[in-house]
């Protein structure tokens, strides 16, 4: 089975549309959304409605901290993120917030676990930035494969018996063999707001038969999204960072 994994869409309609089209062209049979459907971007209503349709068709989705912040004001966010969430909350109707409120923190699926932040404590929104965070993530789950987002930076960690997990920076378009005698934790980067100095949208393709994970970079019309951000009155930094991937 070929599974497409999307993290951190952040209300970026153009990026999600491009990634969904690419996944369909690649023959993806299942879709998984790893949280933060909204926040930062200009199209929260469209993204929530599109993902809700896909969930009805069998897709899997988990809750992100920005999703939670639309109905829980106690969530800690930066000033820019808070301004974007305040704007987002006013765009969403009760039905949209209900979709987000129904999302679980994590979803186990056979030998896989889907979660937005670290599986060591999903509700604390811990970032998996390095080997130590990955180590705690491995300790918290029995699944062989864990997929998360939250950092906006692609990374792949493999568990070892004698040292901290190995940290790999995956190359786009190159399949990564997920050797069956090891456990793996994959951070999928971001569809809607990459932060690895590459502005192209990022998503993952997991081939469960071949045990391979490919990080895919997809071009989209960044200028259109940036103009929407500015037209909505969202912080200008959110428009500028789209073109730099920072």
Tell me the pLDDT tens digit for each residue of 139-159: 999 999 999 999 999 999 999
Q: Minimum mean pLDDT among 33-47, 156-170, 229-243: which range?
A: 156-170
Q: Where are the domains of the chain?
A: 2-244
Q: What is the pLDDT of residues 111-142, one digit of tens each?
A: 999 999 999 999 999 999 999 999 999 999 99
Tell whether the model's pLDDT for residue 161 goes beyond 80.
Answer: no
Tell whether the model's pLDDT for residue 162 goes beyond 80.
Answer: no
pLDDT for 90 equals 96
By residue count, the chain amounts to 246
User: In 27-120, which ranges are continuous DSSP H helix?
Assistant: 44-56, 65-69, 79-91, 94-101
Q: What is the pLDDT of residues 65-76, one digit of tens each?
A: 999 999 998 999
State phi, psi for 68 to the nearest 5 degrees.
-60, -35
Mean pLDDT over residues 165-182, rounded?
A: 94
In angstroms, rounded to a whole number, what is the distance separating the alpha carbons of residues 159 and 176?
Answer: 15
Looking at every residue in the chain, the average pLDDT score rounds to: 97
Q: What is the pLDDT of residues 75-108, one digit of tens each?
A: 999 999 999 999 999 999 999 999 999 999 999 9
Mean pLDDT over residues 42-59, rounded?
A: 98
Confidence of residue 15 (pLDDT cuts 50, 70, 90): very high
In angstroms, rounded to a whole number, what is the distance separating the alpha carbons of residues 162 and 143?
Answer: 19
In angstroms, rounded to a whole number, what is the distance separating the alpha carbons of residues 89 and 51?
Answer: 17
Write out the two tokens for 138.
Answer: 């491995």
Tell whether the model's pLDDT for residue 43 goes beyond 80.
Answer: yes
Residue with tokens 């997929």: 147
Confidence of residue 163 (pLDDT cuts 50, 70, 90): confident
Cβ atoms of 131 and 138 closer than 8 Å:
no
Mean pLDDT over residues 221-227, rounded?
A: 98
Say whether domain 2-244 belongs to CATH 3.40.50.1100: no
Burial class of residue 8, CB neighbours in 10 A (0-12, 13-18, 19+): buried
Confidence of residue 245 (pLDDT cuts 50, 70, 90): very high
Cβ atoms of 84 and 39 closer than 8 Å:
yes
Cβ atoms of 22 and 216 closer than 8 Å:
yes
Mean pLDDT over residues 199-226, rounded?
A: 98
Burial class of residue 74, CB neighbours in 10 A (0-12, 13-18, 19+): exposed
Write out the two tokens for 211.
Answer: 């045990």
pLDDT for 5 equals 99
């Amino acid at each position: 089975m070929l599974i497409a994994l999307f993290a951190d869409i952040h209300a970026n309609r153009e990026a999600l549309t491009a990634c969904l089209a690419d996944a369909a062209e690649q023959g993806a049979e299942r879709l998984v959304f790893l949280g933060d459907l909204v926040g930062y971007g200009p199209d929260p209503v469209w993204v929530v409605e599109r993902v809700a349709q896909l969930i009805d068709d069998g897709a899997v989705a988990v809750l992100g901290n920005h999703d939670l912040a639309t109905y829980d004001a106690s969530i800690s966010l930066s000033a820019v993120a808070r301004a974007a969430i305040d704007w987002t909350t006013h765009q969403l109707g009760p039905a949209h917030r209900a979709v987000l409120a129904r999302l679980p923190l994590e979803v186990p699926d056979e030998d896989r676990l889907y979660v937005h932040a670290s599986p060591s404590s999903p509700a604390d929104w811990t970032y998996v930035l390095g080997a130590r965070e990955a180590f705690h993530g491995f300790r918290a789950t029995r699944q062989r494969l864990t997929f998360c987002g939250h950092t906006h930076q692609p990374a792949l960690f493999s568990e070892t018996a004698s040292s901290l997990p190995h940290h790999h920076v995956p190359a786009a378009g190159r399949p990564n063999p997920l050797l069956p005698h090891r456990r793996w934790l994959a951070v999928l980067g971001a569809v809607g707001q990459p932060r690895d100095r590459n502005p192209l949208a990022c998503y993952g393709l997991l081939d469960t038969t071949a045990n391979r994970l490919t990080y895919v970079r997809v071009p989209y019309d960044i200028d259109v999204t940036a103009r929407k951000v500015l037209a909505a009155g969202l912080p200008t930094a959110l428009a500028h960072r789209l073109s730099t991937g920072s």
